[in-house]
Amino acid sequence: MHFDLPPLPYAEDALAPVISAETLELHHGKHHKKYIDTTNQLLEHERVEGTTLEDVVRSSKGKLFNNAAQAWNHDFYWKSLSPKSAAPSGALKQRLERDF
């Protein structure tokens, strides 16, 4: 089993000025990549069930769990950001208006 660093769902400069291209490249291209690389190295020595990164997170412990979980969290984080501005809608909008 081997995992690759997933590509960003947008260009590296798409989140500027909130997150600069330089910051994004550093965080994605080096930090996130290190979690993927370490997960792959640890998988060479451990048996885990499943074939997805989420499967590895669910079935591992210790250092493998930490690195696989951080890799998964980073992927989730990148997918949660968007270069397009959009206001909340539906139930989220109602709760935000009610509570804040």
Joined tokens for residue 16: 């500027």
Does residue 13 fall inside a structural domain?
no
For 54-90, the pLDDT digits (tens) are 999 999 999 999 999 999 999 999 999 999 988 889 9
Does residue 1 fall inside a structural domain?
no
Does residue 12 fall inside a structural domain?
no
* Domain CATH number, residue 26: 1.10.287.990
Does residue 75 fall inside a structural domain?
yes
Cβ atoms of residues 45 and 76 within 8 Å: no
The Cα–Cα gap between 17 and 26 comes to 15
The pTM of the whole model exceeds 0.85: no
Q: Which helix (H) or strand (E) holds 74?
A: helix 62-80
Q: How many domains does the chain have?
A: 1
Cβ atoms of residues 68 and 56 within 8 Å: yes
Does residue 5 fall inside a structural domain?
no
Which residue range forms the structural domain that includes residue 35? 21-99
Determine the pLDDT at residue 50.
73
Mean pLDDT of 42-62: 89
Place of tokens 């600069």: 20
The Cα–Cα gap between 28 and 14 comes to 14
